[in-house]
Amino acid sequence: MKLQRMNRRAIALGALAASSALVLTACGSDDNGDSSGSSSSASASTQAGSIKCNDAKGQLLADGSSAQKNAIDAWVAQFSKACGVQINYKASGSGAGVTSFNQGQLAFAGSDSALKPEEVTASKKVCTGGQGIDLPMVGGPIAVAYNLSGVDNLVLDAPTLAKIFDSKITKWNDAAIKKLNPDAKLPDLKIQAFHRSDESGTTDNFTKYLIAATPDNWKYEGGKAWQAKGGQAAAQSAGVAAGVKQTNGAIGYMELSYVADGMKAVSIDTGASAPVAPSSDSATKAIADAKVIGTGKDLSLQLNYTTKADGAYPITLVTYEIACDKGNKADTLPATKAFLTYIASEDGQGLLNGLKYAPMPADIIAKVRTTIDGLS
């Protein structure tokens, strides 16, 4: 047509782009060879043998919590190597994950909070004959990290934390902080408390802890959006971490893996014999105190934020994988099941320690395994 003539140039350019893309397709590679070794790859070769693939094939789409991103990455590395299935996990957030799952776009979703009743109702449209269920899979301590030159060890308790994040305590040399840290040289410096500006399961769990542990000092409703006024906000855990790192006198909450050079994690005085620092072990101990409150095949947990057990770190977050109990899509079911079976297995959970996550306690993970076996 004439159209083509007049736009010859534009089309030629488009074609150029497309054809150069085609030419390029010849030379790219998904094979990253041995460079894919993760910190935990020492056991990779032995593990690969124990993964059961069960005719899994193709590519799985999954989306959800960014908190479990590193864990999923590590699992995917092992699983893909063994089964050749590509698992494409986009960590765009729990809410987006659940929304997309209920729109039927995903094989499974990851979420930092259990499905709400209306979300379960919505999931029935996608799961023919069944519904979406929560499978607790990854635990993670939420660290409270600070940047304060000259102070290497900081202990706080729930009321003090609440007051700091509610802008009631504004100076580092406040009496309440001094009382908990008699030996530290606390400067006369303004506290810059960082919270998440985006909505997030991390905020949700952090404020749930404050509400449970010190309701008098934290009179907000909680939820994924930060409620208190005042303080500094930054987008994503990456933003909070960058903010704390750049600012002397800053404090903020984030997943433990973000706590890196320039920051230190606060130990929490829970009333146990000694203050507890965030770690994989201390988080697992706290999760062991949790109750399963899900009904039917749903295994959602109620965490005990006020635990006083020795060595249990109370500010923890549990990420659930969400799949249909019945009515998973036929083409993705084998791969989904195989992948979930793998990550709930001892090998799968074993990877978590090295990545600053917390594996699920034995009794909970046993229930998870049984449930996964029954997925259809």
Partner 1 sequence: MSNATIADKRPGALHGARLPKWSPWAIAAGSLLVAVGIGAGAGLDSKVQWGLIAALLFLFATYGIAAYVEGRRQAKDRIATGLVWVAFLVALVPLVSLVWTTISRGVKVLDVYFLTHSMGVVPDSQPGGGIYHAIIGSLEQVGLATIIAAPVGILTAVYLVEYGRGKLARAVTFFVDVMTGIPSIVAGLFILSLMLIFDMEPFGFAGSMALAILMMPVVVRSTEEMLKLVPNELREASLALGVPKWRTILKVVLPTSIGGITTGVMLAVARIAGETAPVLLLVFGNRFINNNPFEGAQQSLPLYIYQQYAQSAGANAAYDRAWAASLTLIAFVMILNLVARGIARWKAPKSGR
Partner 2 sequence: MDITTQNTEDTPPPAPQPTEAEQKRNARGATRPGDRIFLGLSRGSGIFLLVIMAAIAVFLTYRASLAISKDHGNFLTTFEWNTNIQPPTFGIAVLAYGTIISSIIAMVLAVPIAVAIALFLTHYAPRQLRGPIAYVIDLLAAVPSIVYGLWGALILVPHLTGLFGWLNDYFSWTGVLSWDEGPPRSMLTVGILLAIMILPIITNVSREVFRQVPQMHEEAALALGATRWEVIRMAVLPFGRSGVISASMLGLGRALGETMAVATVLSPDFLIHASLLNGGGGTFAQNIASKFSEADEFGRDALIASGLVLFVITLLVNGAARLIIARRAEYSGANA
Q: Does the protein bind partner 2 through residue 99 (CB under 8 A)?
A: yes
Q: Does the protein bind partner 2 through residue 92 (CB under 8 A)?
A: yes
Q: Which amino acid is at 157?
A: D
Min dist. Cβ of residue 190 to partner 2 (A): 6
Q: Which is nearer to partner 1, 4 or 295 (CB)?
A: 4
Cross-strand bridge partners of residue 132: 324
Distance CA 375, CA 325 (A): 5
Cα separations (Å) of 31 from 35, 36, 49, 81?
A: 9, 9, 19, 10
- In the window 118-157, what residues touch partner 2 (CB under 8 A)? 119
224 binds, among partner 2, partner 1, none (CB under 5 to 8 A by kind): partner 2
The DSSP call for residue 251 is E
Q: Which amino acid is at 270?
A: T
Min dist. Cβ of residue 239 to partner 1 (A): 8
Inter-residue contact 134 to 299 (CB < 8 Å): yes
Q: Does the protein bind partner 2 through residue 61 (CB under 8 A)?
A: no
Inter-residue contact 321 to 328 (CB < 8 Å): no
Q: Which is nearer to partner 2, 136 or 239 (CB)?
A: 239
Q: Which of these segments, 67-75, 133-141, 241-249, 298-306, binds partner 2 (CB under 8 A)?
A: 241-249
Q: Which is nearer to partner 2, 152 or 221 (CB)?
A: 221
246 binds, among partner 1, partner 2, none (CB under 5 to 8 A by kind): partner 2
Interacting residues with partner 1 (CB under 8 A): 2-3, 5-7, 9-11, 13-14, 17-18, 20-22, 24-25, 27-32, 35-39, 59, 61, 63, 66, 69-70, 73-74, 76-77, 80-81, 86, 88, 90-92, 103-105, 235-239, 241-242, 255, 257-258, 260, 355
- In the window 200-239, what residues touch partner 2 (CB under 8 A)? 200-201, 221, 223-225, 227, 229-235, 239
Give residues with Cβ within 8 angstroms of 25, minimum separation 6. none
Judged by DSSP in three states, 181 sits in coil
Distance CA 238, CA 228 (A): 21
The DSSP call for residue 130 is S
Inter-residue contact 130 to 327 (CB < 8 Å): yes
Cross-strand bridge partners of residue 62: 89, 108
Contact residues toward partner 2 (CB under 8 A) are 2-3, 92-96, 98-99, 119, 190, 192, 197-201, 221, 223-225, 227, 229-235, 239, 242-243, 246-247, 250
